[in-house]
Amino acid sequence: MRPAVTMRRALLAVSVLAAVTCPRLAWADDTAAADALFVDGKTLMENGRLEEACPKFEASFELSKALGTLLNVADCRERNGDLAVALDAWNRALALATEKGDDRKTYADERRAALEPKVPKIALDVKLGAEKLAITLDGKPVDEAKWGLVIYVDPGTSAIEVLRGDTVLDKKTVEAREGETKRVAIDLDAIAKAHPKKVVRPVEKVSPAQQYAGIVVMSVGLAGMATFGILEGVAFAKRAEADGEGGCIDRDEDTTICSPRGYELAQEAGDLAEIGQWMGVGGLATAAVGLTVFLTAPKDEPDDAKAQKATATVLPWVSPTGGGVVVWGRF
Provide the greatest CA pair distance for the chain: 143
Predicted TM-score of the model (pTM): 0.54
| Structure confidence by residue, pLDDT tens digits, 233-267 | 776 676 666 566 656 666 666 666 666 666 676 67
Angle between helices 3-46 and 67-79 (to 10 degrees): 30
- The Cα–Cα gap between 281 and 275 comes to 10
Checking if the pLDDT of 39 tops 50, the result is yes
- The Cα–Cα gap between 225 and 72 comes to 96
| Structure confidence by residue, pLDDT tens digits, 75-90 | 999 999 999 999 999 9
Q: Which of 39-53, 108-122, 139-153, 291-305 has the lowest mean pLDDT?
A: 291-305
Checking if the pLDDT of 60 tops 70, the result is yes
| Structure confidence by residue, pLDDT tens digits, 182-223 | 999 999 999 999 999 887 666 566 667 767 776 876 687 678
Domains and CATH numbers, the chain: 3-116 (1.25.40.10), 121-194 (2.60.40.1120), 204-330 (no CATH)
- The Cα–Cα gap between 71 and 110 comes to 12
